[in-house]
Amino acid sequence: MQTFDLLDWNDIKVFLGAARGGSLAAAAKRLRVDQSTVSRRLASLESALGLALFERLPSGLRLSDVGQRLLQHAEQVESAVISFQHEDHPGNGCIGGRVRLATMEGIASLYLAERLWGLRERHPALTVDLVTSAQTVYVNRREADLFLSFFKPPGKGLISQQIGAFRLGLYAAPSYLARQGCPVDLRSLKQHHFVSYVDDLVQVDCVRWLDDLLDEPQTVFRSNSMIAQKSAALGGFGLVLLPSFAVTARDDLVPVLHDTAFTVRELWLNVHADLQFAPRVRAVMAYLKDTFTSDVQFRQPEAKSPRNQASPQPPHCAASSQHLRLFNSAT
């Protein structure tokens, strides 16, 4: 190994970006530089160390054994710098800065976005970047400061806390129920049309929630967007399984079989261990916990409904009778 006097510590940052991104292009995007800069800095680092850190493959970059060992040390250096940067110094009473919060599109757009103003009122100098993602966000790879997920993600150095849970139930537009009728029990769902996700685009298995209710539903509309699914159901395409937080009194959607046709998901707040005590991150975490624990719909619901079990109760279309009368009178 060559002398460390030749080592440029800025190259370590580029190395981390390449190791986490898996390619020159991904690293360049992360670091906001061009690919040639990434390639040149990696070559400089390998030259200074006298070691090959990556295998260059047609599919991208793969860490060598030496690169894997350097990654562990580089992450420790990064963690130490981040911890020092975010120490709460005495006398600094104003919490400010920027926090990147990543979560799924549905809960971000249909619930969180309109409620984050309360955080702004508490901490005017604090800014939140709300990032939506259809896949797991790895806070241990610095992809975000916080990850709000419907499952406990894997990963070293990750602090995860369950802060709630929510029910998902079936909904339909009055126009669909007027045309197709209301399901009388879980078995009768096989005769109905559904709105759901595009199966081969699902990157997080926990959103395959319709599978909890029945096998091979007659899906007539698919989208990787929960908002698009909700809109399609409002348009009369079919039944849609939505979280409780996604439907409000303003929506013209009728609950269907809510006593029997439902499932449950957990809500987890995830942070890297190095950031858990940073004032800006702690402020956002505290606000999120307050928001969800004070909302009754995120308190631990009942266990999941048994699948394909006939309901001994009449179908939950009590709300639909009024909707259907209004719909029929309008048409």
Query: Do both 229 and 309 map to the same domain?
Result: yes
Query: Do both 282 and 253 map to the same domain?
Result: no
Helices (H), the chain: 9-21, 24-31, 35-49, 65-85, 105-107, 117-122, 174-180, 226-234, 279-293, 318-330
Residue 97: its pLDDT value, please?
86
State the Cα angle at 272 between 266 and 273, rounded to 5°: 110
Query: Do both 210 and 66 map to the same domain?
Result: no
Q: Residue 202 — φ and ψ, nearest 5°? A: -70, 120
What CATH number corresponds to the domain at position 243?
Answer: 3.40.190.10
Query: Do both 193 and 58 map to the same domain?
Result: no
Q: Quick one: tokens of 282?
A: 């702690």
Query: Do both 188 and 149 map to the same domain?
Result: no
Pairing outcome for strands 158-172 and 146-149: unpaired
Q: Tell me if 239 is assigned to some domain.
A: yes
Q: Tell me if 323 is assigned to some domain.
A: yes
Q: Tell me if 90 is assigned to some domain.
A: no
Query: Do both 217 and 254 map to the same domain?
Result: yes
Q: Tell me if 120 is assigned to some domain.
A: yes
Q: Tell me if 237 is assigned to some domain.
A: yes
**pTM exceeds 0.75 for this model:** no
**Predicted confidence pLDDT, tens digits, the chain (331 residues):** 455 566 777 888 888 888 888 889 988 888 888 888 888 888 888 888 888 888 888 888 988 888 888 887 887 777 666 666 555 444 456 788 889 999 999 999 999 999 999 999 999 999 999 998 866 666 656 778 899 999 998 877 789 999 999 999 999 999 999 999 999 999 999 999 999 999 888 878 888 999 999 999 999 999 999 999 999 999 999 999 999 999 998 899 999 999 999 999 999 999 988 888 889 999 999 999 999 999 999 987 654 554 544 333 333 454 443 443 333 344 4
Q: CA 61, CA 109: separation in Å to the nearest integer? A: 35
Separation of CA 316 from chain center: 30
User: Considering its fold, how many domains does the chain have in total?
Assistant: 3
Q: Tell me if 20 is assigned to some domain.
A: yes
Query: Do both 310 and 189 map to the same domain?
Result: yes
Beta strands, E only, 173-309: 193-196, 218-222, 239-243, 254-256, 262-272
Query: Do both 272 and 128 map to the same domain?
Result: yes
Q: pLDDT digit string (tens) for 211-243?
A: 999 999 999 999 999 999 999 999 999 999 999
Q: Which of 237, 220, 268, 236 is nearest to 107 (CA)?
A: 268
CB atoms within 10 A of CB 141: 16
Q: Quick one: tokens of 242?
A: 């939505």
DSSP code of 172? E
- Look at residues 85, 105, 121 and tell me which one is the last residue of a structural domain: 85
Query: Do both 257 and 143 map to the same domain?
Result: no
Query: Do both 132 and 274 map to the same domain?
Result: yes
Q: Tell me if 321 is assigned to some domain.
A: yes
Query: Do both 280 and 313 map to the same domain?
Result: no
CA distances from 138 to 223, 236, 263 (A): 24, 37, 26
What CATH number corresponds to the domain at position 37?
Answer: 1.10.10.10
Q: pLDDT digit string (tens) for 62-76?
A: 888 888 888 878 877
Residue 301: its pLDDT value, please?
64
**Domain range for residue 229?**
166-264+303-330
Q: Tell me if 92 is assigned to some domain.
A: no
Q: Which of 285, 289, 290 is nearest to 145 (CA)?
A: 285
Query: Do both 217 and 285 map to the same domain?
Result: no
